[in-house]
Amino acid sequence: MADRLAPVTDLARTRPLLLLIDGHSMAYRAFFALPAENFSTSTGATTNAVYGFTSMLANLLRDERPTHVAVAFDVGRTTFRTEQYPAYKATRDATPEEFRGQVPLIKEILATLRVTTLEKEGFEADDVIATLATRAVASGMDVLVCSGDRDALQLVGPEVTLLYPRKGVSDLVRFTPEAVEDKYGVPPGRYPDLAALVGETSDNLPGVPGVGPKTAAKWITAHGDLEAVLAAAPTIKGKAGENLRTHLDQVRVNRELNAAVRDLELPVTVEDLASQPWDREAMHRVFDALEFRTLRERLLAMVPDAEDDAAAFDLEVVAAVPGSLGTWLAERDGRTVALEVSGRGNPTGGDAWTLALADGTQQALVVDLTDLDPQDESTLAVWLADGAAPKAVHGAKSAVHALGARGLDLAGVVFDTLLAAYLCHPDQRSYDLGDLAVRHLRRELRAESASGDGQGALDLDLDGGGVETGAAVRAAAVAELVEVLRGELADRASGGLLADLELPLVQVLVGMERTGIGAAGAYLAELEAHFAAAVADAASEAYAVIGREMNLGSPKQLQEVLFDQLGMPKTKRIKTGYTTDAAALTDLFERTEHPFLAHLLAHRDASRLRQTVEGLIRSVAPDGRIHTTFQQTIAATGRLSSTDPNLQNIPIRTEAGRRIRRAFVVGDGYETLLTADYSQIEMRIMAHLSGDEGLIDAFRSGEDLHNFVGARVFGVTTDEVTSAMRSKIKAMSYGLAYGLSSFGLSKQLGISVAEATALMEDYFARFGGVRDYLAGVVEDARRTGYTATILGRRRYLPDLTSDNRQRREMAERMALNAPIQGSAADIIKVAMLGVHRGLAQEGLASRLLLQVHDELVLEVAPGERAAVERLVRDEMAAAATLSVPLDVSVGTGRSWHDAAH
């Protein structure tokens, strides 16, 4: 039986293959297979069912290669079955709130894949599938049905196979007629008979008491079919026979209800379900909104018919002849030349081995950097370092690092297609050059053969003999993309952001990444041991409370301890029982204050901190410094992110986080670290954008902002504002910029929704400008299609007019926070450029090391502390002209922690 159930695909099919998916069934299974808390957008929209369903679909399309596809959905709970038998499916739980709204999103994705979706009022998805499967077989097709409903087993036949989820939606069992009979003891056509006798709990169809699948199969085999079994009921002996005779009517009802309808009137024929080329542009929009990056790349990697609608590059690839490079460059003097560097663009240990140059013509020159003629090497070095020689590249920072490893400086980059694409489409999650070429140029990263017939096309291959051709094609793609993306930037009024902000910032980031920050290796080792001991101690304390050892990382074992052994209140129900995620356990501890939970949460915190420290230890380079990589194209708001390691996620407000920051120290030959950050910059931007006189007065008064606001909201003097009042005002002030609702505020502060609503109403009564701004910014964005920062960074939000409520509300939350977060991101970038420029102009040896959110970290050379502090304060304060002052706090010390302020 194991062989028959194995998910082995028959790719030798010669007949058309129709894939039919039960949409609601598989989406629901995906919802429970993937933890909802692990799948949500930056605005809080849950997407686990969408992700799981789409991932499953991608696997099926890749593995099964169907020629025709359709997905059927249920319309609602009312069908002819519920009218005939009101108890049908009546015991099913209410739809989880996190699941609501995800089915429309799935349908949107299916529309971009041009997959037909079908539903029929009064019927179930099963009936639509049964009808299509029947018609497909009659027209000479093979059929694959993907469903988690066992009633679909009745459709299985020589031409119809059922893919039934064994675990989640990734492990699908293949049911052929033989597999059905092996498992249930009856052929597929008799499965409804068996189900009628046994019953179906999920459908609330009671079976004959004491009759399981084996007994039912024995009866059916002995008598032929259900009708014959019922006719023979008087002769069936024992308690089972007695129960059968008592429940004859229910069995007949069950059989009538579980029969799939095979003759529905549908608006399409099976021929209409043929696979179609995907709508890539629509795919990008939907996947950008859902923030699915990896899944998008998986799908795009298997785009059907790509060669039919995307041409190759008609390109002559020329290998540089020794001594010819100077002539080639001279002929293109003054023209922008696109370059592609094949290599590794790392802050440390990078390398470059091939350089391809293209200028938008049908020729590209390839230079082998590992075997350069001395004259060409000198010529290339001069040209690359010449700021007056205009160049275009895809990913300038990576190229600078790779060439730098060869001792070659790169200057004069006037266009970066990676950064340009990001500015045009900040919500996109992939800016791969191949994807951009298809999206904007309708070209694949392939080169046509010299004959031009395409038969000898050289595919991009960076791992084999096609390195030179691949680099040349990529350079040609960059050259062509420059003009297209330059036009898009102009349409979005974003050309200045590229030329004056993002591109100049590249060189600043390169310097910061190469420099890194000093790390106290011995201290990190001690810290790792400390957190390891804390992990062990917390585990021991937890074991002592329950009187035994267990795996504290096992959700199943935790459920047994918490809800069975300790009898704690149940958390949110999930497929595997009750959730034990961090939020649920924190809430449970607040309600019970149980010591086991205290030790469990301490164990989790210590484990997370230990992992952080272990990552830092692995990141220390041979020079004793940690070199993070800053990314400019991750956050849609414009904020920089940090990776390998991520230095932006080290906690600052906890003692443990402060201990970790002590590991970052001033390097040899330098006097101190200096940190500088903006005070309450997001609220200052809110005051500026809203023009609210109350907030503006608060900042101009020099008083504590939250005390000032609290005094007016609560009607007391600033001296009478308590810490609890201040906390409420602080949470609300920042939350409003992110679309915080009264419900969200109530959860955050642990107060009733009514109290939260009253608090917000009092706030807006005193600060009406904030209320008007928040309402206006969404409406303005709905009208124009985008939001903009103070510097004009745009974020286009087409979903503001979406018919899908979840998508529309998601876009509204983005519209609220994008101008504020984005303006803060722009301002700190302007400050970085100013500080970097000022250090050079004043001839100071001090240097920028890190940018973490609204904070800059510098390493100060001996004798330069006063000059650097003055420079940093001046440049950060002058980074933007607002209606309120930009307040800058500065601190110094031998470690990052000691330099805090």
Give the three-class secondary structure for 604: helix
User: Quick one: how far is CA 868 from the chain centroid?
Assistant: 39
CA dist., res. 95 & res. 511, Å (int): 53
Contacts of 269 (CB under 8 A, 6+ apart): 135
pLDDT, residue 12, reads 55
Cβ atoms within 10 Å, residue 406: 20
Whole-number Å distance between alpha carbons of 277 and 310:
11
Cβ 408 vs Cβ 402: under 8 Å: no
Instruction: Give pLDDT, residue 817.
Output: 87
Q: In what order do the strands lie in the sheet with 888-893?
A: 847-852, 855-860, 672-678, 888-893
Beta bridge partners of 199: 206
- What angle do the packed helices 503-515 and 805-841 form, to 10 degrees? 70
- The structure's pTM equals 0.74
Give alpha helix (H) positions in 653-692. 655-661, 681-690
Backbone angles phi, psi at 850, to 5 degrees: -140, 155
| β partners of residue 157 | 160
Question: What is each CA distance from 339 to 379, 396, 443, 444, 452, in whole angstroms?
Answer: 15, 10, 18, 18, 24
Nearest one of 153, 76, 85 to 120, comparing CA atoms: 76
Query: Cα torsion at 891, 892, 895, 896 (round to 10°)?
Result: 30
The residue behind tokens 């990141």 is 619
Query: What is the C-alpha radius of gyration for the chain, rounded to an integer number of angstroms?
Result: 32
Domains (ranges, CATH) in the chain? Answer: 2-180+261-273 (3.40.50.1010), 310-516 (3.30.420.10), 523-626 (1.20.1060.10), 682-820 (1.10.150.20)
pLDDT digits (tens, 9 = 90+) for 758-797: 888 888 888 899 889 988 999 999 999 999 999 999 999 8
Residue with tokens 């608090």: 759
Q: Which residues of the chain have pLDDT under 50?
A: 1-8, 10-11, 304-308, 449-465
What whole-number percentage of the chain has pLDDT above 90? 56
Q: Are 566 and 545 in contact (CB under 8 A)?
A: no
CB 815 within 8 A of CB 800: yes
Contacts of residue 432, defined as CB under 8 A and 6 or more positions apart, other chains included, come to 297
CB 120 within 8 A of CB 266: yes
E-only strand ranges, 520-660? 573-574, 577-578, 625-626, 629-631, 641-643
842: left (phi over 0), alpha (psi -120 to 50) or beta: alpha
Quick: pLDDT tens for 356-414.
999 988 889 999 999 898 999 999 999 999 999 999 999 999 999 999 999 999 999 99
Cis, peptide link before residue 192, omega less than 30° from 0 = no
Nearest by Cα to 306 from 432, 455, 470, 443: 443
**What are residue 274's DSSP bridge partners?**
68
**Angle (CA) 354 359 364, round 5°:** 45
Crossing angle (nearest 10°) for helices 125-138 and 23-33: 120
Structure tokens at 556: 């199943």
Judge whether 425 and 284 are in contact, CB under 8 Å: yes
The CA distance from 514 to 145, in Å, is 55
Residue-wise pLDDT tens digits, 853-868: 899 999 999 999 999 9
pLDDT at 310: 59
- Other C-beta atoms closer than 10 Å to the C-beta of 284 total 20
